[in-house]
Structure 1
Amino acid sequence: MNSLKVRLLLSTFIMTVVMLPIIGLTLSNAFERQLSQAVKNELKAYSYSIFTVAEVENKQLLMPNFLLENQFNVSKSGLYAVITSLSQAPQKNIPLWQSPSLLTLALPALLPSPDVGQTQFSKINLAGSRHLLYSFSASFSDNGQAFPITLHLIKDQQQLLSALSDFRQQLWTWLLALMAVFIFVQIIWLLWTLKPLTVLTDELENIEKGQKKALTAKYPLELQQVTQQLNILLMTEENQRTRYRNALSDLAHSLKNPLAVIQSQTDISVSASEQLQLINQIIEHQLKRAQSAGQSPWHLGVQVQQVIDKLLITLAKIYQDKDLAFIIDVDSNAIFKGDETDLMEILGNVLDNACKAAKHKVAVNVASTAKKLTIEITDDGAGLDESQQAIILSRGGRADTYQAGHGIGLAIVSDLVASYQGQLFVDKPAIDKSATLPGACFTIVFDFSS
């Protein structure tokens, strides 16, 4: 999980999945306790109303035919009342009275018998379903004698369970909806929060492609120092490379001028003139090597097609007497992650050799991926045999001794390609379905993933 977005989204999802169910369970339990307490309070209130109408006379419990609460008067209404004796056995738990709603139902054999003045809540099975039982013991006075009884109020739990089920269903429905909304809001918030990083990534990609030279977007305070340091690094690297090249250019002029003066002398021998020319070529070659920018992650990207188009326009004018046909197949998105001058030097030398060796046609094929650039240049000339290929690619080989123009400047090309950790191949086509010609084939591969 190297992605910051994935980490934040995953943490948000885990937090939501864990926290909302905990909240849901807490609310559900709280509602259940509140509902149970409300039922208990209701039964307590019923007990007071029943005790107010109960009378004891001559050790007999007198009750009205009908109670004020109509549910006690309707059979199987779900609310029942029964009064039992609290006397010692064998008369204990003997029903003294029961509400009309309980007439068709059978009572359990044993009912709780709390002490006088005490209450007790429990659950019983009645008619195959769970019921809540509230028992309250009290003592009446009959001619100065205590007459203890226990009032049992029984309420069907079906209504309570139904209300609890409805609440839970609505609760989880709303929690799921809330979870979806919360995750959606978190995603929007995350995208908005990380937008500066996305902009930074896009700007860095544009710098690699050569479309920009610096980071110009407005960034939050937390990123401003990073972007400023990156801009300073880009500017410093560019300025250093410019100063270095200017210094080398000055050095080249300071060396070439004395050599030109010496070569202009008429009294020098042919051998000395050849040596002076060789020294001039060596200086030119080494200066071009030194001026190469080499591979760097901060190079502005160069559009390969633009460089090839410029070179072909120039070469078409130089070799207009040969009336060459150029076959071009270039990936328009191909980017060279390096210095434009280096790419011009590499392609210019190889294309110039191809034009010299070609009879009628020169083909240029370019393929690219995010991390790899492949350039293939072929001609319809005489080509190169294996011995010539080995000498061209060997270190120190002087390809300019070969006929048909192949190899002139290849020492420079080889060094420049190597400075970018690339590879130069001869007669090894690397692009599938490319327009190759029967002559020499030069393939240059740059791997920018390293």
Structure 2
Amino acid sequence: MLGAAVLAVLFMAALLPVLRGAFVIALEEVIETRLAADAAALVAAARTDSGHLVMPEKLPGEEFDKLDASLLGYIYDRDGRLLWQSRSTLGEPVQYVPRYDGIGHEFLRIGGETEGFFVYDVEIDLLRGQDTALSIVTMQPTRDYQVMYRGFMDQLYLWLGVALVVLLGLLWFGLTWSFRSLRGLSAELDEVESGHRESLSEEHPRELLRLTRSLNRLLDSERRQRERYRHSLDDLAHSLKTPLSVLQGVSEAMADQPQNREQAQTLQSQVERMSQQVGYQLQRASLRKSGLVRHRVQLGPLLDTLCEALDKVYRDKQVQVLRDFAPDLGVPMEQAALLELLGNLLENAYRLCLGQVRVAARQVGGSCELWVEDDGPGVPAEQRERILRRGERLDALHPGQGIGTAVVKDIIDSYDGELSVDASELGGACFRVRLSE
């Protein structure tokens, strides 16, 4: 609409000098016609006597005889000497000398805009059957038409302004009516992104049907691929679970024999490590952001579920979880992904805290920020980047492979988010997550 409005204003601005020029041309044509008629009246009244010009006392055009009239008349010979002038020319400072050059007639403007004159100069070489060489000149001051010109320009500005307003209204109506189908398509896409609709409808103009059908094919392909991916991961997890269980049983049987106890412990630790790595890789592969469908999960209920489970695991600590977010705040992430992300961050906070954990979230501009803080020992500034790498751990007192934080970072990266580690006001570490809407 802004672009159309700019074009409309530019069109009106370009139209203004065109209309003004057309009016000036039409006005000058009218003036020329009138002055030509007045010159013809002087020619009809003129006669010669013994080679001398003779003009009647009373001319046919009364305006030539009025002192305050705006119509002026002059007659010159071929050498530019003034032979006759009308009474209306008295007191008019006209500086004009005709040129008898055989052109016939000439219309021009002399002087300035306010003190100038329109001049019609016609040459005659035959008067009442006698050879002669005269220049008949009629004039009219330009000031007589200034009022008319200003009035026309005022009306032109007014009506062009009205036309511009009407044109902008029509453009707004036309664009609004034309783009209503796109608004409908946009609304359906919003429903698809929010998960309330699986595909786009066919109730769109013919020009958009190819687009909607292509988007529907893309949605269906994505949905099928995601399902095949999930089924393949489930099959892989199931196929790996059995061999690992067998190895775990073998290690337990070996542990009952004193001579094999050391080998059994090594085997058990490696089996446990394999199990954790397999779980990590499966989580990393499955927790990916959808291409077209957007999700939003309420943070409060999900946090209740996680805290309830962690309170049972760390019941000896009696951890107090502080909440600092709106009750209806939603995080732009799939539920499984958010459960895995927040579960890892909270598990680290529960494990390392002294007694307090705080979870805060805010909507900042076009993004959602999430903080998980604790009052534990914290993370030294020089070690904060290292713990985000896979397999890096600072806590050597508890078992694990150091992949929990790496899972969190992979999930955030898949959503084009950011993860950073800072010092918390509680005294421990603060894990800050930033997700785009």
Residue 115 of structure 2 is matched in structure 1 by 129
The residue type equivalent to 1:41 in the other structure is T
SS at 1:301 equivalent:
coil
Alpha-carbon distance in structure 2 between the residues aligned to 1:361 and 1:399:
20
Q: Is the 8 A contact 2:39 2:138 kept in 1?
A: yes
String of CA shifts for 1:197-245, please: whole Å, max 9, x gaps: 666667666766x455655465544444334333433343343333333
Q: How far apart are 1:47 and its partner, in Å? A: 3.2
String of CA shifts for 1:345-381, please: whole Å, max 9, x gaps: 2222332343455554321123455676554323345
Matched, 1:241 2:199: no
Q: Is the 8 A contact 1:328 1:363 kept in 2?
A: yes
Residue 255 of structure 2 is matched in structure 1 by 269
Alpha-carbon distance in structure 1 between the residues aligned to 2:150 and 2:222:
70
Residue 166 of structure 1 is matched in structure 2 by 151
Residue 441 of structure 1 is matched in structure 2 by 429
Alpha-carbon distance in structure 2 between the residues aligned to 1:110 and 1:248:
105
SS at 1:129 equivalent:
coil
Query: Aligned ranges for residues 202-351 of structure 1 at < 5 Å?
Result: 210=194, 212=196, 214=198, 216=200, 219-257=204-242, 268-270=254-256, 271=261, 272=264, 275-276=267-268, 279=271, 282-283=274-275, 285-292=277-284, 293-296=286-289, 298=291, 300-303=294-297, 305-306=299-300, 307-315=302-310, 324-330=319-325, 335-337=331-333, 339-351=334-346
Alpha-carbon distance in structure 2 between the residues aligned to 1:287 and 1:162:
91
Residue 354 of structure 1 is matched in structure 2 by 349
Q: Between the two proteins, what is the percent identity of the paired residues?
A: 24
Query: Aligned ranges for residues 176-195 of structure 1 at < 5 Å?
Result: 176-179=161-164, 181-182=166-167, 185-186=170-171, 189-190=174-175, 193=178
Q: How far apart are 1:310 and its partner, in Å? A: 3.6
Query: Aligned ranges for residues 418-429 of structure 1 at < 5 Å?
Result: 418=410, 420-421=412-413, 428-429=422-423
**TM-score normalized by the length of structure 2:** 0.73
Alpha-carbon distance in structure 1 between the residues aligned to 2:282 and 2:70:
100
The residue type equivalent to 1:135 in the other structure is D
Query: Aligned ranges for residues 389-428 of structure 1 at < 5 Å?
Result: 395-396=390-391, 402-403=397-398, 411-418=403-410, 420-421=412-413, 428=422
Alpha-carbon distance in structure 2 between the residues aligned to 1:297 and 1:32:
67
**TM-score normalized by the length of structure 1:** 0.71
Residue 77 of structure 1 is matched in structure 2 by 69
Q: How far apart are 1:344 and its partner, in Å? A: 0.9
Q: How far apart are 1:155 and its partner, in Å? A: 1.8
SS at 2:426 equivalent:
coil
Q: How far apart are 1:159 and its partner, in Å? A: 1.8
String of CA shifts for 1:24-66, please: whole Å, max 9, x gaps: 3333222222211211211222233344444555666554433
Residue 101 of structure 1 is matched in structure 2 by 88
Q: Is the 8 A contact 2:390 2:406 kept in 1?
A: no
Residue 139 of structure 1 is matched in structure 2 by 126
Q: Is the 8 A contact 1:289 1:416 kept in 2?
A: no
Q: CA RMSD in A?
A: 4.6
Alpha-carbon distance in structure 2 between the residues aligned to 1:215 and 1:355:
42
Alpha-carbon distance in structure 2 between the residues aligned to 1:157 and 1:391:
89
Residue 155 of structure 1 is matched in structure 2 by 140
